[in-house]
Homo-oligomer: A and B are copies of this chain.
Amino acid sequence: MEIKVIKNILEANEAIAEQNRKLKEEKRLLMVNIIGSPGAGKTSLILKTVEKLGVMCGVIEGDIASDIDARRLAEGGVAAVQINTGGACHLDANMVHTALKEIDFSSGVLFVENVGNLVCPAEFEIGEDFKVAVVSVAEGDDKPYKYPLVFSKAGAVVLSKVDLLPYIDFNRKFFYDGIRSLNPTVKVFEVSCKSGEGVEEWCAWLRERFRERSGFPSA
What residues of B have a CB within 8 angstroms of the CB of A64 in the complex? 119, 146-149
The interface-forming segment of A73-81, A103-111, A132-140, A198-206 is A132-140
The CA of A14 and the CA of B25, in the complex, are separated in Å by: 46
The CA of A143 and the CA of B115, in the complex, are separated in Å by: 12
Find out whether the CB atom of B164 lies under 8 angstroms from the CB atom of A116: no
Give, as a whole number of angstroms, the nearest-CB distance from A142 to chain B: 5
- Interface residue A131 (Cβ < 8 Å from any Cβ of B): no
What residues of B have a CB within 8 angstroms of the CB of A167 in the complex? 163-164, 167
In the complex, the chain B residue whose C-beta lies closest to that of A39 is B139
User: Interface size class for chain A?
Assistant: 35 or more
Contact of A89 among B37, B120, B146 (CB under 8 A): B120
Number of copies: 2
What residues of B have a CB within 8 angstroms of the CB of A116 in the complex? 37, 118-119, 146-147
Give, as a whole number of angstroms, the nearest-CB distance from A168 to chain B: 8
What residues of B have a CB within 8 angstroms of the CB of A115 in the complex? 119
What residues of B have a CB within 8 angstroms of the CB of A38 in the complex? 37, 118, 135, 139-140, 143, 146-147
Known A39-B37, A119-B115, A120-B119: A66·B145 in contact at CB below 8 Å? yes
- Interface residue A68 (Cβ < 8 Å from any Cβ of B): yes
The CA of A143 and the CA of B119, in the complex, are separated in Å by: 17
Q: A38-B139, A66-B142, A66-B146 are in contact. List 6 more A-B contacts (CB 8 A).
A: A37-B118, A39-B143, A64-B149, A68-B145, A164-B164, A167-B167
23 interchain pairs (CB within 8 A)? Answer: A2-B5, A37-B37, A38-B139, A38-B146, A39-B135, A64-B148, A65-B147, A65-B148, A66-B142, A68-B142, A68-B145, A69-B146, A87-B149, A116-B146, A116-B147, A117-B118, A119-B120, A120-B120, A138-B138, A138-B139, A138-B164, A163-B167, A164-B167
